[in-house]
């Protein structure tokens, strides 16, 4: 195949909303809709590559603007050289900064390039990178603060009935006793054999986080996720030491600074990279490799359709977060059996978005 056949000759952006979209809240966010931005690139060969980012309702004009800016840079780039595109884009984006919306835009093109390259050579991304695992454990995520107790228990028990061996619940209610009650009822509902985690989404200060961690110690919480602001490294160190609870974080990071600082303080147990925030498959794998050298397991944030294949390729994979928000929007959702997820065998990422759900991004 001539090399120019792998060059990008068209880039399109679309918006889609999950059929499961309902208003939800955690300790720091009120989310009015569960929606996504989809990137679709076409190579000169006709091969299509796709990616998506979880946008919710936030800053639609900023997202659209960043993607429109990156479209011109992506046109003509070789999809077989995604790393070269990253370097070129970082030079262009440096003036306004690499963190933030620029990184999301870069990730959107990068992930689509990997999809297109896998399809070009007829291989799944995880096989291109080299697999070292057979499957990946999944945990059921959700437990939103807007749920009633009945809705919360219905969600976690359905996860367990489907074979999940771990569930995660939001905390950070205005009334701390409500968090304790919710977690207690979840533990009673799922039984002793299912892991229960709690996630504050950075919504607590140190004293409230410590009090909650100590109060729920009898419930054997597997980890406390983002209890504090993600830059409060000293607070994480003190909380882990005093409460004796495992700490998970990483989803808000655009680089590995937090990972480095928390490891230096012995303040982190699980690293949760976000593929789109880090901005590329390459950055995700680099962060996972850094975590491995520090003996930190990897539990990525949200994107199971990409994270399961990527977790197949690293030795410190511990599990993936599971939501069902895009299952109806795509072909070939991730297969789950007995609490484990298995990557698609199709080329690229092994799925594509159905056209009937896509609307051009204004």
Residue 196: CB atoms within 10 A of its CB come to 24
Torsion angle of C-alpha atoms 184, 189, 194, 197, degrees rounded to 10: -40
Q: Are residues 211 and 232 in the same domain?
A: yes
Q: Does residue 349 form part of some domain? A: no
One domain, residues 102 and 190: no
CB distance 235 to 223 below 8 Å: no
Same domain, 289 and 190: yes
- Number of neighbouring beta carbons within 10 Å of residue 218: 8
Give the residues across from 356 on adjacent strands: none
Once rounded to an integer, what is the mean pLDDT over residues 72-96? 93
Domains: count for the chain: 2
In this structure, are residues 135 and 338 in contact, taking their beta carbons and an 8 Å threshold?
A: no
Six-digit token string for 355: 């056209």
- Average pLDDT of the chain is 96
Give the pLDDT band (50/70/90) at residue 270: very high
Write the pLDDT tens digit of every residue in 207-223.
999 999 999 999 999 99
Pair 331, 241 in one domain: yes
Are 109 and 155 part of one and the same domain? no
Query: Residues 110, 137: one domain?
Result: no
Domain match, 66 and 162 both: no
The packing angle between helices 60-74 and 82-93, to 10°, is 120
The model's confidence at residue 327, banded by pLDDT at 50, 70 and 90, is very high
Same domain, 190 and 297: yes
Residue 259: domain span: 127-342
pLDDT for 97 equals: 86
Shared domain for 117 and 144, answered yes or no, is: no
CA end-to-end span of the chain: 35
């Amino acid at each position: 195949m001539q090399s120019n056949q792998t060059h990008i000759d068209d880039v399109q952006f679309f918006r889609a909303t999950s059929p499961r979209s309902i208003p939800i809240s955690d300790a720091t966010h009120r989310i009015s809709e569960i929606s996504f931005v989809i990137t679709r690139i076409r190579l000169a060969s006709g091969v299509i590559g796709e990616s998506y980012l979880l946008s919710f309702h936030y800053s639609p004009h900023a997202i659209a603007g960043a993607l429109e800016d990156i479209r011109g840079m992506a046109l003509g780039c070789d999809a077989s050289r995604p790393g070269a595109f990253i370097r070129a884009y970082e030079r262009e984006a440096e003036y306004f900064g690499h963190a933030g919306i620029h990184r999301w835009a870069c990730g959107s093109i990068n992930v689509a390039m990997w999809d297109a390259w896998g399809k070009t050579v007829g291989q799944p991304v995880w096989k291109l990178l080299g697999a070292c695992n057979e499957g990946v454990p999944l945990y059921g995520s959700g437990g939103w603060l807007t749920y009633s107790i009945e809705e919360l228990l219905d969600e976690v028990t359905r996860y367990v009935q489907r074979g999940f061996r771990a569930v995660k619940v939001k905390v950070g209610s205005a009334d701390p006793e409500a968090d304790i009650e919710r977690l207690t009822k979840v533990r009673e509902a799922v039984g002793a054999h299912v892991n229960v985690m709690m996630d504050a989404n950075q919504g607590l200060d140190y004293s409230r986080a410590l009090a909650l961690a100590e109060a729920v110690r009898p419930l054997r919480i597997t980890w406390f996720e983002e209890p504090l602001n993600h830059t409060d490294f000293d607070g994480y160190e003190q909380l882990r030491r005093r409460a004796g609870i495992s700490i998970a974080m990483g989803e808000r990071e655009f680089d590995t600074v937090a990972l480095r600082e928390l490891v230096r303080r012995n303040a982190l147990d699980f690293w949760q990279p976000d593929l789109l925030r880090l901005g590329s498959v390459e950055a995700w794998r680099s962060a996972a490799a850094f975590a491995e050298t520090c003996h930190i397991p990897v539990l990525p944030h949200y994107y199971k359709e990409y994270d399961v294949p990527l977790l197949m390729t690293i030795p410190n994979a511990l599990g993936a977060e599971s939501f069902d928000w895009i299952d109806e929007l795509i072909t070939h959702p991730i297969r789950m059996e007995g609490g484990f997820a298995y990557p698609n065998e199709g080329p690229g990422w092994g799925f594509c978005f159905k056209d009937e759900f896509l609307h051009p991004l204004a």
